[in-house]
Amino acid sequence: MHCSAKEVYQKLLKLHGPQGWWPLFHLEKDGGYHIGDYSYPRNESEKFEVCVGAILTQNTTFKNVEKCLALLHQNGICDPSSLLKASSQLVIESIRPSGYFNQKFKKLLIFSEFFISLKQETPSREQLCGLWGIGPETADSILLYAYEVPIFVVDAYTQRIFSHLGFVQGSFNYSRLQSYFMDQLGSDVELFQEYHALIVAHAKSFYARKPYGASCPLLNKY
C-alpha cells in the first residue's frame, strides 16, 4: 500500500467518523464521548479519571474499564485523596472488572500519590515511566489525553494494522513506530487523539480476530 500516514487517517475518518476520545463518566451524552469537543479534560478531577482509565485499560477492554469507573464514582473514590484513604477491599472490588486487580490496585495507589505531588503540573514522560506499572503506552496515553501533550500513542492495534498494510517491517519497535507517525503528522494534539481512537475502532472491526485484516477496507485503492 503506497500512501502516507495522513492518507490512512483520512480513510479511517471517512470509515468510522470522529470518536470523541477520551470518554468521561459524568458526560451523559453519547456515553461520555465528546465528539468534536477537544476541550476535555477541563479540571483536575477529569484529568485524574483519564489517568485511572489509562491504567485500568491495561490488558482488558474499555467496556470493563467503564464498569470500574462507574463503581469508583458510585463508591466516592474516583479522586486521589479518597482513593488513598479508602479500604483496600473497597478499591479492589471497584476495579475487579478490569482484571489483574491486585496489581492495578498497587498501581493506582502509587499513581494517586504521584498525582497529588504534581500540584497540578504536567508530568514528564520520564516521570510517568519511572512509576511502577506504567509503561510507554500508558504514559503516552496519560500525556496525550489527560495533559494534551502532543505525543502519538502506539499500541498493539497500531502495530497490527500498519504491519498488515506494509508500513512496519521486521520486529516491532515502539519508539521507531511512534517517531514515524510524529514525523509524518507534525505536532497536533487533536489529530493524535483522533487518530489513535480511530485505530482502535478500526482494529475492533477488522483486526480483533485472525486472520487479521482479511477484509480490511484500507487495502482498497483510493
Domain boundary among 122, 146, 170: 146
On the question of pLDDT at 221 being above 60, the answer is no
- Is 66 in the same domain as 132? yes
Cα–Cα distance for residue pair 102/89, rounded to 1 Å: 10
Helix, strand and coil percent figures for the chain, each rounded to 5: 60, 0, 40
- Is 170 in the same domain as 104? no
Q: What is the mean pLDDT of the chain?
A: 94
- Is 132 in the same domain as 84? yes
On the question of pLDDT at 168 being above 70, the answer is yes
Q: What number is the average pLDDT over the span 154-177?
A: 89
- Identify the band that residue 2 occupies on the pLDDT scale cut at 50, 70 and 90: low
| 21 secondary structure, DSSP code | P
Q: Is the pLDDT higher at 221 or at 125? A: 125
pLDDT in tens, 125-148: 999 999 999 999 999 999 999 999
Q: One-letter amino acid identity for 173?
A: N
- Is 210 in the same domain as 175? yes
pLDDT on residue 222: 39
- Is 9 in the same domain as 43? no
pLDDT in tens, 195-215: 999 999 999 999 999 999 989
Q: Is the pLDDT higher at 221 or at 8? A: 8
- Is 108 in the same domain as 212? no
**Quick check: is 24 in a domain?**
no
- Is 63 in the same domain as 140? yes
- Is 164 in the same domain as 122? no
Domain of 41 in residue numbering reads as 29-146
- Is 90 in the same domain as 197? no
Domain total of the chain: 2
- Is 60 in the same domain as 141? yes
Q: Which long-range contacts (CB under 8 A, 24 or more apart) does 119-124 make?
A: 120/44, 122/147, 122/149, 123/147
pLDDT in tens, 53-110: 999 999 999 999 999 999 999 999 999 999 999 999 999 999 999 999 999 999 999 9
On the question of pLDDT at 1 being above 80, the answer is no
On the question of pLDDT at 167 being above 90, the answer is no
Q: State what percent of residues in the chain have pLDDT above 70.
A: 97
- Is 84 in the same domain as 162? no
Q: Which long-range contacts (CB under 8 A, 24 or more apart) does 32-36 make?
A: 32/66
**Quick check: is 125 in a domain?**
yes
- Is 102 in the same domain as 160? no
Domain boundary among 146, 162, 181: 146
